[in-house]
Structure 1
Amino acid sequence: MSDIIRRDPRAEWIARNRLHPLHAAMQPVQQSWMGPNGIIRKNVHGVGFIGPNGIKRIDRSGAQQGGAAKRTAAVEVQLPLHQVPTPAFYISVVPDMVGGRLSSHDRDLLGLARQLAGSDGAVLAVVFGEHKENTFATAGVDRLLVLDGHAFDGYSPEQRVQGLRAVDNQFNPRHWLLPDSRSGGGELGRRFAASLKERPATRVWQIKGDECIGRAGAGQQDLARPLPRLILAAVECADPVSETRHEVLPVELSTSLARSLSRIEDLGAVAVDPAAIPMAEAEFIFSGGNGVKDWALFHQTAAALGATEGASRVAVDDGFMARDLQVGASGTWVTARVYVAVGISGAIQHLQGIGACDKVVAINLDPTCDMIKRADLSVIGESAAILQALIDAVQAYRNGAKRDAA
């Protein structure tokens, strides 16, 4: 693994973007160039340059020493810190936080909030319950308010509306932004708007000045209206924050929230067969390709993980998987939170189909394939042995949980 050359797509993008504040730092030192009179000029200060006296410049920084320096190392980009010591106003964002992490829809929403906040305002993110997110700083959050407690567990829209009312009374945000999604933001935003007796703008995909544009007519028409205080934004309403990092200062409510007598009782999640979930809506996809030799073991692993099965085009063409399970540009575009690719090399059509997935795990024998380069976590080895070890680990975890419960 240590010999694999890792690319940094973000550093490469900054090197190409002349408007980025770190563009100059990403440019390589030019050793020679053509002068205006056609003469090749050389950088006499470059490492390894041999002057007219035959003396070679020595690199004393250690960059040329050792085998590790010969490999292309990922450049750690330190984004400029954006600080708002005394905010003139707040833009409040209530992300869905599906699985305790920011989704791509949430990041688009924070990008829109960053545009509305400008340089004087602060983006206040309101999160319910415990979370696992550690990238609020690069997502554009200036202030973070976590409302935790058993009152917000499960499906509790009335209690959450009460919490948002308390935030509204204390911070008086200029705008409220919620994702117009089926994961809770759409319903919560409409309930919150009813409690405030305000009319929200729904399915907003663009904001221009004091006007917002939302989708209407089954998504076939655009509806323009004055920008209201409460906005329910659609996917890709704005570009995510990518050029700054933020303080993420924690804030708290000045008053304690009393638990209200809810008229809704949460009876818990309903068990659903993963095979019955459409791949376009699945959160966890276990996908197999040409590298899978034991398909019975593959199905057993997917069942043990509780994942929805998928496949590459090669596996479908060979008859191992059904056509409706094909992932990719020629199949189904997926937006899973976790996508596990077993024995899939990563054709361009397949990579296009998983472009919106948050986390990609690759299991493959070839450490140089494109899927390994795309993956957030790579496991190099024989798929059968890895899948069997994965099943054993899941069973051991579940048996330990049962013993602890007993």
Structure 2
Amino acid sequence: MSVRRLDPHAERIRRNRLHPRHLEFARPAWRWVSREGVVRIDPHALGAIGPNGLKRIDRSGAAVEASPAAAASTSAEPGRRQVVIDQPVGHVVVVPELPEGRLNDHDRDLFGLARQLADGHDLAVTAVTFLSGVSGFEDAGADRVVDLSAKVGDGYGPVSRLAALVDVEAALSPQHWIFADSLPDGGDLGRRLAARLSLQNASQSASQTAGQGASAVDARPATRVWQLSDGQTLSRAGDRQDILRDVPRVMLALPECAEPVSETCHEARVIELATMAGDISSAANEAPASGVIDRGRVAVDPQEIPLAQAPFILSAGRGVRDWEGYHHAARVLGASEGASRVAVDDGNMPRARQVGATGTFVSASCYIAVGISGAVQHLQGIARCQRVIAINNDPSCDMVKRADLALIADGDAVLAAVCERLGQPRDQTGSDGSWKDEESQHAAA
């Protein structure tokens, strides 16, 4: 029986929608894992046309996996239609999160939501960023980009950022603002902007005479938005019935609120706003007066971070034998500890550290699997991880096939070498000065 081999480079390109050769390696998305961890299958993508012209359904997905790469295109550029809006009649502003200085899946969903509002109305989707050198706005769906990195200082400064957004409001008068509904970033900033716009509308309404006055526009934000349809937003309301309301000016959207842009490429023209030159330069000085002072980052023990929120996870399976060396490597790397179900059942790790469908679903930026073969439940639990590194002796295991980078070696030896390279090798001697293991004693000899 022949073993089906996967090219790790091709698999990484297939999962990276930003890669210029993504469409060349992309396969039909016939199966995926939802946010709740449920495996979804697209029945329309399964099967093939038989010799009699009838479509035969194969729910195993073997026909899809065995088919050649979709479109067989040599470049991703011809696969996208170029869209240029020279004179937009208005703007839909998106303020992405940009974790680690780049667009994530949630940011792309926000741009997909903005395109639903802009397409067909000659509106430009404008990205407002507080970081410089961010790429990928063209493929994400941005027609314009406003870079505020030179105007707003680094660190946590919600007041100065709010002042910058108010200047953008004065210069562009966007029809809609879209933020990510996550704290303390987009969720906090979006609510601050909505409150400021409500105050401005109230003051304008109060200044009008009784004969002239029209009621102020309600700037209350729509939070937890997950769907947009027929000019209305549908917001999650926990255990209660979902909230349906007209599309407001400020929206705070959840992940998977819309399909990301995949068929068009936009201009992403950088624009300078002349009205921003005066006030933003002094906006940072408002922070101390408002009581918000950035004291810098606080060191946090990675083991105290909930596993579902950990950005960097070092996970161990049955292939790990030197558990003291594993814990030492996690401390040196500053990673949160995770484990497979087998390692937990063997008593080497607590149940709270189990990763997978029977444990915790994780969405780490970097996930290192040491000695984990890759059971189906474990692969479901790491489906939302951005980068997966596998260290395993078995080159044919499922975790190696899933990984973006695989090291075929002994996990204990690799972790020990990494700690030594970082200048923090584990002490091989006991309290009495004797060597702890026979292998280290031979190494010393």
**TM-score, normalised with respect to structure 2:** 0.71
Name the SS of the counterpart of 2:233 in structure 1. Answer: strand
Among 123, 126, 138, the alignment partner of 2:125 is 123
CA distance in 2, matches of 1:124, 1:342: 43
**By how many angstroms is 1:72 displaced?**
8.9
1:98–1:183 Cα contact (<8 Å) kept: no
Distance 1:219 1:75, change over 3 A: farther
Matched, 1:182 2:183: yes
User: Displacement of 1:15 after TM fit?
Assistant: 9.2
Q: Is the 8 A contact 2:226 2:256 kept in 1?
A: yes
Please tell me whether the aligned partners of residues 81 and 247 of structure 1 are also in contact (alpha carbons under 8 angstroms). no
Say yes or no: does 1:214 pair with 2:235. yes
- Counterpart for residue 247 of structure 2: 227
**Residue number in structure 2 paired with 1:367:** 395
Name the SS of the counterpart of 1:270 in structure 2.
coil
Structure 1 distance, partners of 2:231, 2:98, is 28
Residues 288, 342 of structure 1: 8 Å contact kept: yes
> 2:202 maps to which residue?
none
Aligned to 1:240: 260
From 345, 351, 354, the equivalent of 1:317 is: 345
Query: Which range is displaced more, 155-164 or 140-149?
Result: 140-149
Residue 343 of structure 1, CA deviation: 1.8
The question of 1:287 aligning with 2:296 is answered no
Does the 8 A contact of 1:92 with 1:125 survive in 2? yes
Q: Over residues 337-391 of structure 1, what are the superposed CA-to-partner deviations in whole Å (9 max), with x where a residue is unaligned?
A: 2211112222111111111222222222333322223222333322223212322
Q: Would you say 1:204 and 2:225 are equivalent positions?
A: yes
- Counterpart of 2:136 in structure 1 is 135
Deviates more, 1:174-183 or 1:84-93: 84-93
Q: 2:167 aligned with 1:166, yes or no?
A: yes
Equivalent position to 1:258, from 277, 281, 291: 281
- What displacement does 1:278 show? 1.1
- Residue number in structure 2 paired with 1:382: 410
- Structure 2: distance between partners of 1:232 and 1:72: 37
Q: Following TM superposition, by how much is the alpha carbon of 1:279 offset from its aligned partner in structure 2, in angstroms?
A: 0.3
Please say if residues 81 and 263 of structure 2, whose CA atoms lie closer than 8 Å, have aligned partners that are also in contact.
no
Q: Deviations over 1:55-76 (max 9, x none)?
A: xxxxxxxxxxxxxxxx999965
**Structure 1 residues 113, 154: CA separation in 2 closer, same or farther (over 3 Å shift)?**
same
CA distance in 1 between partners of 2:227 and 2:52 (Å): 47
Q: Equivalent residue of 1:258, what SS?
A: helix
Task: Mark the CA change 1:232 to 1:34 in structure 2 (over 3 Å): closer, same or farther.
Answer: closer
Residues 233-290 of structure 1 show CA distances to partners (whole Å, capped at 9, x for unaligned) of 1222112223333333222232322223212111011111111111012121111112
Amino acid in the other structure paired with 1:190: R
Corresponding letter in the other structure for 2:85: P
User: Does 2:366 match 1:338?
Assistant: yes
What is the letter of the counterpart of residue 168 of structure 1? E
Q: What are the equivalent positions in structure 2 for 1:150-161 lying under 5 Å apart?
A: 151-161=152-162
- Pairwise CA distance, 1:223: 1.0
Is contact 1:199-1:228 (8 Å) kept?
A: yes
- Give the counterpart of 2:385 among 353, 357, 380: 357
1:83-98 aligned within 5 A: 83-86=83-86, 87-98=88-99
Unaligned runs of 5+ in 1: 18-32, 37-70, 397-406
Specify the code of the residue in structure 2 equivalent to 1:172: S
**TM-score, normalisation: structure 1:** 0.77
Distance 1:338 1:229 in 2: 36
- For the Cα contact (< 8 Å) 1:141–1:247, is it kept in 2? yes
**Contact 1:84 1:122 (8 Å CA) reproduced:** no
Helix, strand or coil for the counterpart of 2:390? strand
1-structure distance, mates of 2:361, 2:226: 21
Which amino acid in the other structure matches residue 138 of structure 2? A
Q: Deviation of residue 293 (structure 1)?
A: 2.5
Give the superposition deviation at 1:82: 3.0
Change (3 A) 1:172 1:76: farther
Paired with 2:93 and 2:407, the residues of 1 have a C-alpha distance of 40
Kept after mapping to 2: 8 A contact 1:95/1:178: yes
How many angstroms does 1:4 deviate by?
5.6
Count of aligned residue pairs for this structure pair: 345
Kindly, what percent of the aligned residue pairs are identical? 48
User: Which of 189-198 and 142-151 deviates more?
Assistant: 142-151
Q: Distance in 2 between matches of 1:144 and 1:166?
A: 15
1:326 CA displacement: 0.4
Q: 1:367 to 1:146 in 2, by over 3 A?
A: farther
Residue 20 (structure 2) aligns with = none
Alpha-carbon contact 1:104-1:358 (below 8 Å) kept: no
* Compared CA separation, residues 280 and 88, structure 1 to 2 (3 A): same
How far residue 224 of structure 1 moved from its aligned partner, in angstroms, is: 1.0
Correspondence 1:102-121 to 2 at 5 A: 102-119=103-120, 120-121=122-123
Q: 1:13: Cα distance to partner? A: 3.0
Q: How has the CA–CA distance of structure 1 residues 136 and 296 changed in structure 2, closer, same or farther, with 3 Å as cutoff? A: farther
